[in-house]
Structure formats: C-alpha cells, structure tokens
Chains A and B, each alone.
Chain A
C-alpha cells in the first residue's frame, strides 16, 4: 500500500485553477474572487499546519495530546456555529449551546465508535480518533448551525403566533412544537440527503481517500458505511440537543417568549 507522493508543482497546478476562477470572478464582477482566494489560502495554511500537528501527535502518542487537539477542534466548531447565526443568543449561551451539543454528540459517538466498533487500542490512538472526530464534528456543526438558525429565524418571524398560543394557555413546549420540529428536520436534511446520494451520485471523501491510499474498495466501503451511520447518529443527537437547549433559553420560567435574549 503506497501512495504516489504529490510534488509542490502538482499543488501549484491545482492552485492555478482556483486563480483562474478568481480571475473570471474579477472580470465578470461576481464579487466572490477575494473570498475565493482567501478561502484557498486558508485551506493551504490550515491544512499544512494540521499535517504538522498530526505528524507530531502520531509520533508522541498520548491521551492528552489527542484531547487537546479534540478540544481545539470543538471550540472552533462552536465558534463557527455561532458565527453562522444572524442573531445568536446573548452572552455565553450563543457559544455554549452549540458547543455543548456538539461535545455531547460528537465526542460521545466517536468514543462509542472507537471503543466498540473499530476497537482500536488504545482508544485514543490519534490516527483513528482525530480523523473520526473531525468528520463527526464537521457534519454535526453543519446540522447544528442549520437547525438553530432555522429555529431562531422562525421564532423571530412567528413571535405573535407563539405569544397568541401562550395567551390561550399553551405551555412553552406546546407553543413552539411545530417550529422546533421543523428546525430539527432542517438540521437533519443534509445528512439524510448525503446518505441517499452516497455511492450513487457522490463518492464520499473518506472512502475516496482510502481507495487512493491503496485500501481494497470493499474495506473502504465498510468504513464509509460505518462513518455515515455514526455521522447520522451524531448529527441527529447534536441537532436535537441544540434546538432543545435554544428553545429552552427562548422562554423564561413564567413561559414568556424572551426575544430580548437574542443579540442585535
């Protein structure tokens, strides 16, 4: 199992394609060229650094290195979730809701996968733990951000209807039921679509990587199926958890809708 090593020239050719796209954007005034170049630069810098970090912790296998990297990934994901809300919850809640939900779901599911299914020894072996957690966090983050954003937007839009329901004696759960269900569905749509399209329309990235690295396709497929299921479970748990926590914070103990707890 050997991989054909990529040379700097190979990467430069790929980079030139992005530059051509940026050039087209600039000529046709799409207004996305700048972000495109910045995004490409970030990809190059962030992934290069990650490569160095992973090499270092693979060489120095210790549970606390794995934990440290995992925590940094989690905090970055939490920040990203909050950044995607137009009007997040004020104070620590905006950051805390997403971060807590992702910690419970992604860490929990990753740990379960490592201990019971993959069965790697020790379970914190970074070669397995970090990539697995990365995939779970990435997908859960998308789901959580979508779900919470949908909930907040629909609550702002439907403020009067929610208050009308409260006035008729419904409690905060009942008054919000339709909206929170809809928000949870919105958060789960990407993973549901991804599972439906897997192998038919899209070749999932992890499987592609394994095959490029020389794994037999049948082994790669088994891993991909496992990962898909873990992602679905992790995303579902994370979305439900974050939507519930957000919904809880939107009301106080007297079942009042508290939009003053949103920023902006």
Chain B
C-alpha cells in the first residue's frame, strides 16, 4: 500500500511544505484562494520548477522520469483540457468499471468534445485520469461544476478507488460539507506560511 510523503516542498518562493498522506487516506487541503493550494498540487506533480522531494511508496520522484512520476500521482486540474474530436480518442484503455457509476453509458466514447457540458467534462476528466490507474490522486476541486447528484457520484467513485487501491488522496475543496464527508484529515494552507493541523 503506497503512501505519499512530501518533504520540504517549495515553489515560487513560498514557504516549504511538509506533509504525509497515508495509504488509503484522504487529506483535504483547505485555505483561502490564492493561498497556494493549486500550486502545491502542481509542485507535487513536478509541473513547476520547485525544490524539495516527494516520495510515493518510499520511492523518490527523482529516481524516475517526470512522465513516469506523473502517471503515478494522478493530478486532476480544476479545468480539464481535451485535444481530439471525440471522447474515446483521449483514452488509451477504455475501462468500463467506473463509467456507469459516473453516469455515462458505453456510447460516451463517440461523443463530440465540443458538445460536452462543463460538468460532463469534469466527470470524464476523472475517468480519463483513473484509466491510467495512478497510485495516488491529487484532486483540485473535482466537483466544482457538478450538481448535487453528480457530486455524490464522484465522491463515491473516488472513495472506492481510494479503498480498492489503497491510494493516498489529496483533495482541494472549498465546501465545508464535502470536506466533512470525504476527508480523514485536513491540511490548512496559509497565504505564505503553510502548516499542518490534524
């Protein structure tokens, strides 16, 4: 079972962050906007120049190439991007397991990207991310543009993924009710300095 260990992680001159997420644990990252929540996730995924180190299952990200690392720590940005015409072209592997649970039928693969609603895009982006079977999940407001029903669907699918694979999950959320539902623990980020609270 993998755990995610973040050591002295520092980007854009912000204060270094130390945080540990256990295997199968869901840690909600909270803090006012502009406090660096998204930047923290980007730094973990090694998308911006940063200092410090991140370990997954005891292995440092520096032991592997950045693309390999990013496949292991699945990062879901708030806004997803699509570059082919249809949904299916974006998937290497068409795994059906979570399809129905996220509210889609098999015909979704042929759907045109430009006809998707914001909410559909968000749920499909999660599906696309999980198709790679990442060992950890970094979620940046994964339900921001969803209605209540779909919000619950997404929460259920993520919870199952977390339990089945023992995946550590870092979840950025602004909703107190959702944080209450999904998190085992909270991690509070301040504008400049950041510290953990249990």
Q: Contact residues of A with B, CB < 8 Å?
A: 160-161, 163-171, 178, 252, 254-258
- The answer on a CB contact under 8 Å between B75 and A254 is no
- The answer on a CB contact under 8 Å between B67 and A166 is yes
- The answer on a CB contact under 8 Å between B83 and A256 is no
**Residue A256 contacts which of B46, B79, B128, B129 (CB distance < 8 angstroms)?**
B46
List 20 additional contacts besides A160-B81, A163-B81; criterion CB under 8 Å: A161-B82, A163-B47, A164-B81, A166-B66, A166-B70, A167-B70, A167-B75, A167-B77, A168-B128, A169-B67, A169-B68, A169-B71, A169-B132, A170-B67, A178-B83, A252-B49, A254-B46, A255-B65, A256-B48, A256-B49
Q: Does B45 reach chain A (CB closer than 8 Å)?
A: yes
CA–CA, A42 to B66, complex, Å?
51
Closest to A162 in B: B81
Q: Does B191 reach chain A (CB closer than 8 Å)?
A: no
CB neighbours of A165 from chain B (8 A): 81, 83
**Residue A167 contacts which of B47, B48, B65, B82 (CB distance < 8 angstroms)?**
B47
CA–CA, A257 to B67, complex, Å?
13
CA–CA, A30 to B97, complex, Å?
64
CA–CA, A53 to B71, complex, Å?
60
Closest to A174 in B: B67
- The answer on a CB contact under 8 Å between A256 and B47 is yes
**Residue B67 contacts which of A160, A164, A171 (CB distance < 8 angstroms)?**
A171
CB neighbours of A161 from chain B (8 A): 81-83
CB neighbours of B118 from chain A (8 A): none
Q: Does B178 reach chain A (CB closer than 8 Å)?
A: no
Q: Does B80 reach chain A (CB closer than 8 Å)?
A: yes
CA–CA, A258 to B47, complex, Å?
9
Of residues A163, A167, A169, A170, which shows the largest number of chain B Cβ atoms within 10 Å of its Cβ? A167
Interface residues of B in 16-75 (CB under 8 A from A): 45-49, 65-68, 70-71, 75
Closest to A252 in B: B49
CB neighbours of B83 from chain A (8 A): 161, 164-165, 178
Shortest B50–chain A CB gap in Å is: 9
**Residue A160 contacts which of B46, B79, B128, B132 (CB distance < 8 angstroms)?**
B79
Shortest A167–chain B CB gap in Å is: 5
Shortest B85–chain A CB gap in Å is: 12
**Residue A164 contacts which of B46, B65, B68, B80 (CB distance < 8 angstroms)?**
B80
Contact pattern, B 135-147, Cβ under 8 Å of A = 1, otherwise 0: 0000000000000
CB neighbours of B67 from chain A (8 A): 166, 169-171, 255
- The answer on a CB contact under 8 Å between B66 and A168 is no
CB neighbours of B128 from chain A (8 A): 168
